[in-house]
Amino acid sequence: MEKPYVLGIDMGGTNTKFGIVDARGNVINSSSIKTQLYTDINEYCDVLCAEMMKLVDAAGGIELVRGVGAGAPNGNYYTGNIEFAPNLPWKGIVPFAELIAERMHVPCRITNDANAAAMGEMTYGVAKGMKNFIMITLGTGVGSGIVIDGKVVYGHDGFAGELGHTKIERGESARLCGCGQKGCIEAYASANGVARTAKEWLAKTDRASLLRQLPAEEITSKDVFDAAMQGDDMAKEIFEYTGRLLGTKLADFVAFSAPEAIVLFGGLTKAGDILMEPVVKALNENVMPLWKNKIKVLFSTLKDSDAAILGASALVWDVDAQAPMSK
Amino acid sequence: MEKPYVLGIDMGGTNTKFGIVDARGNVINSSSIKTQLYTDINEYCDVLCAEMMKLVDAAGGIELVRGVGAGAPNGNYYTGNIEFAPNLPWKGIVPFAELIAERMHVPCRITNDANAAAMGEMTYGVAKGMKNFIMITLGTGVGSGIVIDGKVVYGHDGFAGELGHTKIERGESARLCGCGQKGCIEAYASANGVARTAKEWLAKTDRASLLRQLPAEEITSKDVFDAAMQGDDMAKEIFEYTGRLLGTKLADFVAFSAPEAIVLFGGLTKAGDILMEPVVKALNENVMPLWKNKIKVLFSTLKDSDAAILGASALVWDVDAQAPMSK
């Protein structure tokens, strides 16, 4: 009998979420652990696998599980390794697929978190039926999953689709990014980027803003959004600025793969129209005439938590896949 | 019997080159006409087809020709149309594949000129055997052909791979590009861009330079190269500046598709090391650590004239192709 379940892992810099998923894309049961609690990768895998086994046992046992799919920052689809992830506690190269497979006794396949989200979106979300789209994840950082002709692009080395680390600023004033480079769009259009813009603008001017009621160092993108919703001009302008930079960069991505749509996903998309409007405006101002007003920009329709787990699980269902599974 | 020949057309803003090609990639015979002489597309096609028929007749007649492949600016692989090409005499949408097919009585397939060059490079050039590479053509403008998993990327609408129109500058001082947008890399890293930089720098400063011996308006990229070869500091710096901007942009492209190599092609590559060195330096300064010194940057090994004709002809040999042929 075909095994009816797969496990999906969505590893983030803060939380690791995981769930058991059936072939129809229902997340039967899910849970999470704190990624940052475990500075030793072996300890992290021990706890993660023990927690996953609880879900597995409740669903009828490991015999019913076909494998594990994981979305992880800098996860390499070809090797099964997590390689030099700047936002994770483990440095260098971590053979994650192997570590999970040997603990769970089922095969494991990994990709990066944004590619997993793109697979989730293509299989169950707003990109269903699309063969060419780009998923941009706007969370703590900016990630991306690029789908061309119905397939996620992995490139020569398995690391394609790092659009958060394309450059929007050059020169002295460009912000330093977590990746070590300067001027990456991730340093501007992520949740962290929005908070950073707020702190910079508050320090640089003495303009009135509701944000001045908060300790500057603790300001988050949510605070900026809340202030904007209360009509705060500076907060609104911060989203305008963020959206404009992101939209300008999206125009570059359109010139690359001419997608049918760009799907925005992740925490920052909760800002809604005050982000979407400047994004769409800047996109259309910066694409070639042939693409003006032709590229759909959509918010993901999947719940944050489910998209990545579902997408990761889709790695296991995907029988045409190019990469070997770690067993 | 299998027909032994195909025709390849390389349409540029200035010249249209064409040749008759055998299955081994030998250009049996070739010729050219001036693109700009014909403001009426029908007249252009009449002359082009009459000239091609001379090659065909010399090779034994149209019965031996399988079809025509053409690389043309803004050529759409899916529709066979040339759509809104800024550097051609014909405006709007031109059903080029159909116009050629009805005159030659054999099927015709088209793509843009840079995609054709990428196919030529993959089939016969320095990218032979590579499954993931990006071809950048540095001629009058900047074009690109992106190969992922062994296939040229066409995208949702057939127009993917317009990397010359990604942005390197923003704001007031960004140069206007022929496409109508501002700040495109094409406005800096093309032959025209180099000449433009020279004119700007000469006008803006009173620095000594051999280039001042020439009428400013007539300066070409070749003049700048010749001056650099004679040790002119400003001319050398112009190539340094051009290469640095191009390399910075190439880093964005690496983040997109993680190619094994970037292949530079076209007139500007004759500059050699004085272009290549700053390109490679800026590329490695702007990619994520995982790609530093890992991406090959290569000059095309094909003759300019042959690559595009061969690549265009490969469109006809390519039996797995996704697009229908105009017959």
pLDDT at B320 over 60: no
Helices (H), A60-142: 96-104, 113-124
Cβ of B257 within 8 Å of Cβ of A160? The answer is yes
Distance CA B91, CA B85 (A): 7
| pLDDT digit string, tens, across residues B78-118 | 999 998 887 899 989 999 999 999 999 999 999 988 899 89
Cβ of A257 within 8 Å of Cβ of B256? The answer is yes
**Domain A128-301 carries which CATH code?**
3.30.420.40
Which of A286, A222, A295 shows the shortest CA–CA distance to A258?
A295
Number of H helices, E strands in chain B: 9, 12
Task: Please indicate whether the domains covering A5-118+305-317 and A128-301 agree at the CATH topology level.
Answer: yes
Residues in A touching B163 (Cβ below 8 Å):
255-256
- pLDDT, residue A54, reads 97
| pLDDT digit string, tens, across residues B21-44 | 998 888 999 999 999 999 999 999
Residues in A touching B155 (Cβ below 8 Å):
132, 148, 257-259
Q: Find all residues with CB under 8 Å of B247, minimum gap 6, and list them.
A: B278, B279, B280, B281, B282, B283, B284, B285, B286
Helix (H) or strand (E) holding A194: helix A191-204
Q: CA nearest A252 in B: which residue?
A: B166
Residues in B touching A157 (Cβ below 8 Å):
258, 290, 294
Q: CA nearest B83 in A: which residue?
A: A290
- pLDDT, residue A307, reads 78
Which pair of structure tokens corresponds to residue B171? 């704001």
Nearest by CB to residue B289, choosing from A156, A179, A287, is: A179
Choose the CATH number for B5-118+305-317 among 3.30.420.40, 2.60.450.10, 3.90.1530.10, 3.10.20.30. Answer: 3.30.420.40
Cβ of B167 within 8 Å of Cβ of A286? The answer is yes
Helix (H) or strand (E) holding B192: helix B191-204
DSSP secondary structure letter of residue A132 = S
| pLDDT digit string, tens, across residues B176-198 | 998 889 999 999 999 999 999 99
Which pair of structure tokens corresponds to residue B192? 């025209």
Mean pLDDT of the region A171-176: 92
| pLDDT digit string, tens, across residues A84-128 | 887 899 989 999 999 999 999 999 999 988 899 899 898 888 999
Q: CA nearest B290 in A: which residue?
A: A84
B 175-234 residues with CB below 8 A of A?
179-181
Residues in B touching A252 (Cβ below 8 Å):
166-167, 252
Determine which of A52-56, A78-82, B70-74, B315-319 has the lowest per-residue pLDDT on average: B315-319
Q: CA nearest A74 in B: which residue?
A: B290
CA of B157 vs chain A CAs: smallest distance (Å): 7
Cβ of B84 within 8 Å of Cβ of A290? The answer is yes
Residues in A touching B146 (Cβ below 8 Å):
256-257
- Count the Cβ atoms, other than its own, within 10 Å of residue A217: 7
Cβ of B251 within 8 Å of Cβ of A166? The answer is yes
Percent of all residues in chain B with a pLDDT value above 70, rounded to a whole number = 96
Nearest by CB to residue A159, choosing from B158, B162, B290, is: B290
The domain segmentation of chain B, as residue ranges, is: 5-118+305-317, 129-301
Which neighbouring-strand residues pair with B135?
B145, B263
- pLDDT, residue A325, reads 67
Q: Between the CA atoms of B185, B189, B193 and B194, what dihedral angle is there, to the nearest 10 degrees?
A: 160
Domain over B129-301 is classified CATH 3.30.420.40: yes
pLDDT at B239 over 80: yes
Asked if B150 reaches chain A (Cβ–Cβ under 8 Å), the answer is no
Number of cross-chain residue pairs from A and B with Cβ atoms under 8 Å apart? 124
Distance CA B285, CA A168 (A): 15
* pTM, to two decimals: 0.90
- pLDDT, residue A202, reads 97
B 52-81 residues with CB below 8 A of A?
74
CA of A312 vs chain B CAs: smallest distance (Å): 20
